[in-house]
A and B are shown apart, each in its own frame.
Chain A
Amino acid sequence: MAKYFPNVDWQIMWEATNQTLFMTGISVLVTFVLGIILGMLLFLTGKDNMWENKLINTVIGAIVNIFRSIPFIILIVLLIPFTVFLLGTMIGETAALPALIVGAAPFYARMVEIGLREIDKGVIEAAKSMGASTWTIIWKVLLPESLPALVSGITVTAIALVGYTAMAGAIGAGGLGNLAYNYGYQRNQNDVTVVATIIILLIVFVIQFIGDTITAKIDKR
């Protein structure tokens, strides 16, 4: 190992991997919840739906579109005052979380909305005809019936988030991206970059595998 990767400090590499996993894990969790709430609101306030409300729908839609359109590296910089206000610092892996979530949740919210729209209208109508309340429809019809789309959507989002963490690393958030930048780029230690890349690829493959397995298991269509 030492022969092929002379500059790699495995202790540091391991720490960086943990930081990347931490940033990805937390931001995926929060994005999942926040994205579902936003996506559900977008869906329910849409035309001909249970909470039809053009104003709310337009406002949420606009916010989602704006944050989805800002390139992530710029978003991090834009959110520095917000992050400092929230956490008192903008260094370290925790400080990357606000930007990661703000960047990913709108992206995922759109996917949630699309997934919800694909549910057969007749099924929602059947639930209504049985006397279901809107909450019952949300919990027992909308979420279960769109679950495969929600899971494959969060898989794609999680993989994008791994990429985002690397970018966040470039401005001091830690993690594998930070490592590759500091050692690989600044000190020209290409072996560090290669190892960091391999680990990131492994993380992505594992996420994709988990996502595909869950989707296949829950999809009974």
Chain B
Amino acid sequence: MISIQNVRKIFPFKEGQLTAVDDVNLEIKDGEIFGVIGYSGAGKSTLIRMLNGLELPTEGTITVAGRDISKIRGSELRKARQEISMIFQHFNLLWSRTVSENIAFPLEIAGIKGPERKKRVAELIRLVDLEGRENAYPSQLSGGQKQRVGIARALANNPKVLLCDEATSALDPETTDSILDLLVDINKRLGLTIVLITHEMHVIQKICHRVAVMEKGKIVEIGSVLDVFKNPQQPITKRFVQQVSEPEETKEIAEHLLKCYDSGQIIQLTFIGDSAEQPLIANLIRRFHVNVNILQGKISQTQKGSYGTLFVHIDGNEQEVNKAVDFIRSQQVGVEVVSNG
């Protein structure tokens, strides 16, 4: 559906230049929810804006839905953009138009008239759950409702691709979740390909199938969300994974416990999918002469299955503890020794 080949984007300045996107290659499949995560300035925003021609690549080719976006201009580009919709962090609704009129705008651009347009607007309002707010102006809506209008507007012309530019970054956590649920629902119901950029790992975890991590214009890591969570390679990816898997106080707890226990090991276990269902701790205690103290645990749901993290303190004589750790390693469970007691 989307193919990005050797794409580079350089912004010239008075003195020198800035390489925002540096030799990026990416294939995004039909019907996929693909996430790009990175800190601000990583180039992810420039990357997504090149997918609908709001920015043009300095080098390389971008093909979306069979069209070479980086080459086409004028009316051909405008036609292509009707199939590649976008939603925005700050919603970008027309304040001078009501909810219905905002949703009708892309239909006006596409030349759809009268009753047909009215019918389509009504459908879209139902789809995004905004019945009763048709005649409200954006200033009368909450952030979540505004983004729903944004989504309805983006879906009006039955696009093949939906680009989400930090679409939930201006929303509170609860509203974020409801918008993400809506996006998943749309993806399933309409088979739409969704590309989103974000700096929140929570968003990636909750709805993406695959994720690319961007740093300094380059994609440093890419893979299925579950794999990336299970086995993050790059330091930056590890930091993003920690955002959701490891609550902030864990480190403090570990330090505190290290002071309390002068022996044993504190270990982080990562469970993926089926392995999460084995009674690992029970086996551990039965087989080895160790004490296991559970410090903290969490299970998170992704689109392709669940994964969990567990922090435990294993205590006993050194040999037994080492044997226990080896046993865990043999159980398809990720093990990371946080610290030795």
Contacts and interface: CB of A to CB of B under 8 A. Distances in A.
A133 B106 CA distance: 11
A7 B78 CA distance: 69
B82 A130 contact: yes
B8 interface: no
B190 to A, nearest CB: 18
B54 A220 contact: no
Given A129-B86, A131-B109, A140-B108, A123 B94 contact: yes
B79 A131 contact: yes
A218 B94 CA distance: 13
Nearest to B138: A220
Contact of B52 (A127, A129, A218): A129
Interface stretch (A85-93, A141-149, A180-188): A141-149
Nearest to A120: B92
B95 A220 contact: yes
Contacts of A145: 94-96
B337 interface: no
Contacts of B88: 122, 125-126
B81 A129 contact: yes
B139 interface: yes
B280 interface: no
A140 B137 CA distance: 16
A125 B85 CA distance: 12
Interface string B73-92: 00101111110111010101
B323 interface: no
Interface in B131-166: 137-139, 153, 157
Contacts of B86: 126, 129
Contacts of B138: 220
Contact of A136 (B54, B109, B153): B109
A130 B85 contact: yes
Contacts of B139: 220-221
Given A220-B137, A221-B139, A128 B92 contact: no
A121 to B, nearest CB: 9
B249 to A, nearest CB: 38
Residue of A122, A132, A147, A220 contacting most chain B CB atoms (<10 Å) = A220
A140 B80 CA distance: 20
Interface in B254-272: none
B183 to A, nearest CB: 17
Contacts of A123: 92-94
B110 interface: yes
A203 B132 CA distance: 44
Contact of A130 (B75, B77, B105, B137): B105
A7 B151 CA distance: 70
B97 A144 contact: yes
Interface in A104-139: 120, 122-123, 125-133, 136
B103 to A, nearest CB: 11
A128 B109 CA distance: 10
B151 to A, nearest CB: 12
B81 A141 contact: no
Given A136-B109, A220-B137, A221-B139, A131 B92 contact: no
Contacts of A147: 96
A147 B94 CA distance: 12
A36 to B, nearest CB: 16
A129 B94 contact: no
A125 B88 CA distance: 10
A134 to B, nearest CB: 10
Contacts of A129: 52, 54, 81, 84-86
A13 B110 CA distance: 56
B96 A220 contact: yes
Interface in B222-244: none
Nearest to B78: A131
A1 to B, nearest CB: 48
Contact of A141 (B77, B94, B110): B94
B168 to A, nearest CB: 16
Contacts of B157: 130
A140 B92 contact: no
Contacts of B82: 130-131
A140 B95 contact: no
Given A122-B88, A220-B137, A144 B54 contact: no
Contact of B81 (A120, A130, A218, A220): A130
Nearest to B79: A131
A58 B32 CA distance: 48
Given A126-B93, A131-B106, 4 more contacts: A120-B90, A126-B92, A130-B106, A220-B137
11 contacts: A123-B94, A125-B88, A127-B109, A128-B81, A129-B54, A130-B109, A131-B78, A131-B82, A133-B75, A133-B78, A145-B95
Interface of B: 52, 54, 75, 77-82, 84-86, 88, 90, 92-97, 105-106, 108-110, 137-139, 153, 157
Q: Which 8 A-B pairs have the closest CB atoms?
A: A131-B81, A126-B92, A131-B78, A122-B92, A220-B137, A129-B86, A130-B106, A144-B96
